[in-house]
C-alpha cells in the first residue's frame, strides 16, 4: 500500500490546489454561482447538524415557531417556503419527538395549530448555535460586502418568490 494519504487521484486534488473548474459558459451567470455557493455552504451546515443527529430542515421550522406562539401548518409552509404536503411528515416527526405540540383549532375543525414545547425551544437554540457558527464563516468571507450581499439576495428572493400569478 501505497499509501499516500492524500493521494490525490483524480483531478480533484483534494486540497492540493483547491481549484474548481468553472465552465466558461457559467462564469458570468449569477444563477450558477448562487447555486454552487448555496449548495456547498448548506451541505456544510447540514453535515454539522447531522452529526448532532439534527435534521437541517427542522431548523427553519423550529425557528419560525420560536418567534410566534403558534401557527397552522399552512402558515408555516408559506413562511418557510415549503409545500404544505412537505410539512406533514416533518411535523409528525417533530411532534413524535416532543418538540412541538398540536392543538385543535376550535374555530375550524379542519385545522390545528402548532406550538413549540420546552424541548423544542432547547433544540431550536442548539440548531441556531450550529447555524451561527457557519454563518460566522460566511460573514468573514463576505467581509465588508455583507450588507450589499444580503440586500441583493433579498431582492432576488422578493422578485422570484412572488406567487407566480401576481
Partner DNA sequence: GCAAGGTAATTTGATGTCAAACTATCTTGC
Partner DNA sequence: GCAAGATAGTTTGACATCAAATTACCTTGC
Contact residues for DNA, defined by CB under 7 A: 1-3, 7-10, 43, 47, 55, 57, 72-75, 81-92, 108-113
Closest distance between DNA and the C-beta of residue 44, in Å? 10
Closest distance between a second copy and the C-beta of residue 4, in Å? 9
- The binder of 84, among a second copy, DNA, none, by C-beta within 5 to 8 A per type, is DNA
Give whole-number Cα distances, 62 to 2, 52, 53, 155, in Å: 48, 16, 15, 25
Which CB sits closer to a second copy, 92 or 155?
155
Which CB sits closer to DNA, 46 or 142?
46
- The binder of 108, among DNA, a second copy, none, by C-beta within 5 to 8 A per type, is DNA
Which CB sits closer to DNA, 159 or 164?
164
Closest CA to 122 of 48, 51, 54: 54
Q: Rounded to the nearest 10 degrees, how much is the dihedral formed by the CA atoms of 64, 80, 35, 128?
A: 20
- The binder of 97, among DNA, a second copy, none, by C-beta within 5 to 8 A per type, is none
Give whole-number Cα distances, 147 to 42, 116, 142, 151, 153, in Å: 20, 32, 9, 6, 10
Distance separating alpha carbons of residues 71 and 75, to the nearest angstrom: 6
- The binder of 129, among DNA, a second copy, none, by C-beta within 5 to 8 A per type, is none
- The binder of 29, among a second copy, DNA, none, by C-beta within 5 to 8 A per type, is a second copy
Closest distance between a second copy and the C-beta of residue 152, in Å? 5
Q: Provide the b/e sequence for 65-85 (b: ≥16 CB within 10 Å).
A: beeeebbbbebbbeebeeeee
Amino acid at each position: 500500500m501505497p499509501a499516500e494519504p492524500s493521494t490525490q487521484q483524480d483531478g480533484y486534488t483534494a486540497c492540493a490546489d483547491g481549484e474548481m473548474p468553472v465552465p466558461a459558459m457559467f462564469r458570468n451567470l449569477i444563477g450558477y454561482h448562487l447555486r454552487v455557493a448555496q449548495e456547498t455552504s448548506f451541505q456544510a451546515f447540514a453535515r454539522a447538524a447531522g452529526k448532532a443527529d439534527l435534521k437541517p430542515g427542522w431548523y427553519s421550522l423550529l425557528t419560525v415557531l420560536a418567534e410566534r406562539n403558534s401557527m397552522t401548518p399552512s402558515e408555516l409552509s408559506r413562511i418557510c417556503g415549503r409545500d404544505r404536503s412537505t410539512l406533514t411528515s416533518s411535523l409528525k416527526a417533530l411532534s413524535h419527538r416532543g418538540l412541538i405540540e398540536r392543538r385543535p383549532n376550535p374555530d375550524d375543525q379542519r385545522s390545528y395549530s402548532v406550538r413549540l414545547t420546552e424541548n423544542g425551544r432547547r433544540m431550536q437554540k442548539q440548531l441556531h448555535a450550529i447555524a451561527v457558527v457557519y454563518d460566522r464563516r460566511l460573514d468573514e468571507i463576505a467581509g465588508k460586502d455583507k450588507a450589499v450581499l444580503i440586500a441583493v439576495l433579498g431582492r432576488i428572493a422578493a422578485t422570484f418568490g412572488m406567487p407566480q400569478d401576481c
